[in-house]
A = this chain, B = another copy of it.
Amino acid sequence: MNFASDNWAGASANVLAALGAANGTLPAYGADPVTARAKALLEEALGGSAAFAFVATGTAANALCLSLAARAGGVVLCHEGAHITVDEGGAPEALSGGLKLVTIAGRAGKIAPDALEEAFARFPKGVVHHGRVVAVSITNLTELGTLYRPGEVRALADIAHRHGALLHCDGARLFNAAASAGVSPIALTREAGVDLLSFGMTKCGALCAEVAVAFDPALGEDLAFAQKRIGQLLSKQRLYAAQVAALLEGGHGQDLAARANGLAARLGAGLVGLEGTRLIAPVEGNEVFIAMPKEMAARLEEGGVKFYDWPVFALQPEERPGPGERLLRFVTHHALGTEDVERLIALAAG
């Protein structure tokens, strides 16, 4: 039973079928009908025209987005637990010609508006020594599986824009976020003031496909050149496009996400009902972060459940496990069913 990560699951059946269907001889570098279809569906899902680049990884999508914001002395503000600063091996710095990431602490994986204002205050306008903030980056769902609702995104976007910075959203689990908020991705991105979006597909049913999105055509002007320059322009681009199209067609991706969210909600509720457990963050998507007695965690391991112990360095003091506890992350996904969740709960109950 694999609750280690949604990136362990394979492709959904629809996605796999779409890959097979796209396997003829077709023009290279995106001049093919599969790509055209995927782009049309993306425009529909995101509320209008935009510049898109299909890429292999979330790391690439994030770095590509941020590179569009990069200027000399450029600083990106992000949460101290953000994937871009903790888990991307320096890609944002390296692929942007040297952006600097400055982190902000915050509960539940979120940047609070006043903390964002305070961070901007470190960079008085025109002071070249400190650099200048060119972008704020949020992750939605956050790294603790929580949700920025449309109004929360808008509040951060307004602050960023007032200071002349762009808002980037790492949407590795944007389908889960949208399903959780009960809105379309439009409401969490374009309508909420997001300028640059990493639209994740891999964790929601694709094998390998992410989309870097620039909503403003002026920003998007460099996207194709930037994509090529980091080695992300596929010759057989239908590989990515077919997956993207399959997940957007008929809301397939968001449906899979809603189902995974439901499993996580059940899992969280089940576990938190047990003696000695404590949710570290509210379950708002497809992830459960929970502190539990070491013996309970050991029972799960013995029962063959796969999960991760979560590192604590980016957590607030009250979010850290106490003595005798382990802090675990469980991730649900399209390849799990309710029986897996119930079995996990039963194992935990002992």
Interface size on A, residues (CB 8 A): 79
Contact indicator B128/A230 (Cβ below 8 Å): no
Q: Looking at the complex, which one of B10, B23, B57, B93 makes contact with A22 (CB distance below 8 Å)?
A: B10
Task: Please tell me how many copies of the chain the complex holds.
Answer: 4
**Interface presence of A40 (CB below 8 A):** no
**Which residues on the B side are within 8 Å of A98 (C-beta)?**
90, 93-95, 97-98, 229
Contact indicator A95/B11 (Cβ below 8 Å): no
Contact indicator A71/B231 (Cβ below 8 Å): no
Bound-state Cα–Cα, A126 to B89, Å: 11
A94-B98, A229-B98, A311-B122 as given contacts; A5 in contact with B20, CB under 8 Å: no
Contact indicator B93/A100 (Cβ below 8 Å): yes
26 contacting pairs across A/B (C-beta < 8 A): A4-B27, A8-B26, A8-B27, A8-B28, A10-B26, A57-B231, A57-B233, A59-B233, A75-B90, A87-B129, A88-B229, A89-B128, A89-B229, A89-B233, A90-B229, A91-B228, A93-B100, A94-B230, A95-B229, A98-B229, A118-B313, A128-B224, A131-B225, A202-B236, A207-B239, A231-B232
A contact residues vs B (CB 8 Å cutoff): 2, 4-5, 7-11, 16, 19-20, 22-28, 55-57, 59-61, 63-64, 67, 70-75, 85-91, 93-101, 118, 122, 126, 128-132, 202-203, 207-208, 222, 224-236, 239, 311, 313, 335
